[in-house]
Copies of this chain bind each other. A is one copy, B any other.
Amino acid sequence: MQLYGFWRSLATLRVRIALNLKRIDRKEVMIDLVSGAQHATDFRDINPQGVVPVLIDGDGPALFQSLAILEYLEELFPQVPLLPTDPRGRARVRGLAQIVACDSHPLIVPRVREFLEREFHLSEAQRLTWIRHWMREGLRAVEAHLAHDSDSGDYCHGDTVSMADICLVSLAVGYKLFDGRVEDFPRVAKVVERCMAQEAFAKAHPLRQPGAPQAA
């Protein structure tokens, strides 16, 4: 498999973690979002939306959107399952994942920050206010669910890692990169700590990828 991503892309991070958990080999191709490589014709030929991540499996067409890729991996590689077996549990895990992947993360991606700057002349400080606000709102919503729902456990759903944890980790990692305090959300912080203690999560971290500032 080939994973098109970028070291700091939080949506790519989700796919990277899932591939690690399921022990699936792949080559990772970095699309430099800073220089605008996602808009180049050769990448648009792969993904006409011009965003990462994209996964290529064999000679099939490109798979796009991180949660759709996770579901695909789950269907084809059921080892280390990332969804429970009961429909209500699956719905809860997907719902928690979507709080991150729909309601929080898409608000803070580079194209949105660039639009706020270009169109409304928001300062860097204002853009940071924006980013931290929507990340915090996502963390707050997951924290509220973890406190509210009887299915919460060592992880978001019971005592097994799921897509919800993968998404939550992507949000928490991003929040820390923007100097946010994940500890403000104690249940979230515990789940994230438990995940990051595992090599499949830890080695997927943005700062451990090629091209990252702190990477060797």
Residues of the B chain whose Cβ atoms lie less than 8 Å from the Cβ of A103? 49, 51, 106
Closest approach, in angstroms, between the C-beta of A104 and any C-beta of chain B? 8
Do A91 and B68 form a contact, CB below 8 Å, given A122-B120, A129-B119? yes
Q: Mark A24-61, 1 if CB is under 8 A from B, else 0.
A: 00000000000000000000100011010000000011
Closest approach, in angstroms, between the C-beta of A11 and any C-beta of chain B? 9
CA separation between A40 and B45, bound complex, in Å?
47
Whether B49 lies near A144 (C-beta < 8 A) is: yes
Residues of the B chain whose Cβ atoms lie less than 8 Å from the Cβ of A126? 119-120
Residue A107 interfacial (CB < 8 Å):
yes
A interface, over-half SS: helix
Interface residues on A, range: 35 or more
Copies in the complex: 2
CA separation between A98 and B67, bound complex, in Å?
8
Q: Mark A188-201, 1 if CB is under 8 A from B, else 0.
A: 00000000000000
Do A95 and B48 form a contact, CB below 8 Å, given A72-B88, A90-B71, A107-B112? no
Residue A147 interfacial (CB < 8 Å):
yes
Whether A94 lies near B71 (C-beta < 8 A) is: yes
CA separation between A181 and B200, bound complex, in Å?
46
CB nearest to A101 among chain B residues: B102
Residue A149 interfacial (CB < 8 Å):
yes
Residues of the B chain whose Cβ atoms lie less than 8 Å from the Cβ of A144? 44, 48-49
Closest approach, in angstroms, between the C-beta of A69 and any C-beta of chain B? 7
A60 in complex: contacting residue of B88, B141, B145, CB < 8 Å: B88
